[in-house]
């Protein structure tokens, strides 16, 4: 009975997330573009963390389904491809910031999503202890470049005993593993939602190498552009 109750609570929470994913009354984004290059507005494709930064190596296009381009919608998409919100909703450490060149300046991450190992309820607790893939996200929604696109900093990290430092080549590996999990069509594990994703590789946005990169880990400068379609599918 306790298990059934726990599942019911989890289901209710997911339905609430689905409701939060619906569009709200905000300034209209420009869905005619995938995103606006952040450098044009004085932004950076590295976020900020302790004086250095982590690469914004995945962009979810503004041409994606509008429901995906919200925190709730991103969570539902993440759960369909093997990620979920942090263990028990808890986060240790200061939030990282990013400037997406949209006029908002440096803003805090909207959240952190971790590999859930097939369990959207408590699987991210396992990732917090043993390490794995995770990402942070920001929305490009300032008045000077309001695309609505999501910029993700994806990386694969060591376990808790290693203080979650990034594994060797962890920026490239984390990005590629997330993209591999996302491309194609995937159903949400509980809700009647189907996500179809395509990927394109972009160069010229992010400088390859280690300059300014957290943990001095080299990355190849490739940014993956994902276009995600969400549909109700019973």
Instruction: Indicate the pTM of the whole model.
Output: 0.88
Q: What is the pLDDT of residues 95-152, one digit of tens each?
A: 999 999 999 999 999 999 999 999 998 888 888 778 899 999 999 999 999 999 999 9
Q: What is the pLDDT of residues 161-212, one digit of tens each?
A: 666 689 999 999 999 999 999 999 999 999 999 999 999 999 999 999 999 9
Kindly report the average pLDDT of the chain as a whole number.
88
By DSSP bridging, strand 111-115 and strand 132-139 are antiparallel
Domain extent listing, the chain: 2-232
Share of the chain above pLDDT 70, in %: 83
Burial class (CB in 10 A: 0-12, 13-18, 19+), 80: buried
Across 163-191, b (16+ Cβ under 10 Å) vs e yields: ebebbeebbbbbbbbbbebbeeebebebb
Q: What is the pLDDT of residues 140-164, one digit of tens each?
A: 999 999 999 999 999 999 877 666 6
Only one residue has tokens 């490239």, namely 172
Residue-level pLDDT at 50: 82
Backbone angles phi, psi at 199, to 5 degrees: -135, 140
């Amino acid at each position: 009975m306790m298990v059934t109750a726990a599942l019911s609570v989890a289901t209710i929470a997911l339905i609430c997330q689905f409701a939060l994913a619906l569009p709200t009354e905000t300034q209209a984004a420009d869905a005619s573009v995938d995103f606006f290059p952040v450098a044009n507005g004085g932004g950076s494709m590295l976020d900020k963390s302790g004086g250095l930064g982590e690469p914004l190596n995945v962009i979810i296009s503004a041409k994606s389904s509008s429901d995906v381009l919200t925190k709730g919608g991103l969570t539902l998409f993440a759960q369909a491809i093997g990620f979920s919100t942090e263990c028990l909703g808890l986060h240790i450490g200061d939030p990282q910031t990013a400037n997406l060149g949209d006029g908002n300046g440096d803003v805090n991450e909207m959240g952190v999503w971790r590999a859930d190992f097939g369990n959207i309820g408590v699987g991210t607790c396992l990732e917090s202890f043993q390490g794995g893939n995770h990402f942070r996200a920001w929305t490009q929604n300032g008045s000077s470049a309001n695309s609505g696109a999501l910029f993700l900093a994806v990386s694969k990290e060591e376990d808790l005993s290693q203080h979650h430092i990034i594994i060797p080549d962890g920026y490239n590996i984390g990005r590629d593993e997330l993209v591999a999990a996302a491309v194609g069509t995937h159903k949400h594990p509980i809700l009647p939602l189907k996500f179809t994703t395509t990927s394109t590789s972009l160069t010229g946005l992010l400088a390859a190498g280690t300059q300014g990169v957290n943990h001095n880990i080299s990355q190849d400068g490739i940014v993956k552009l994902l276009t995600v379609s969400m549909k109700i599918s019973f």
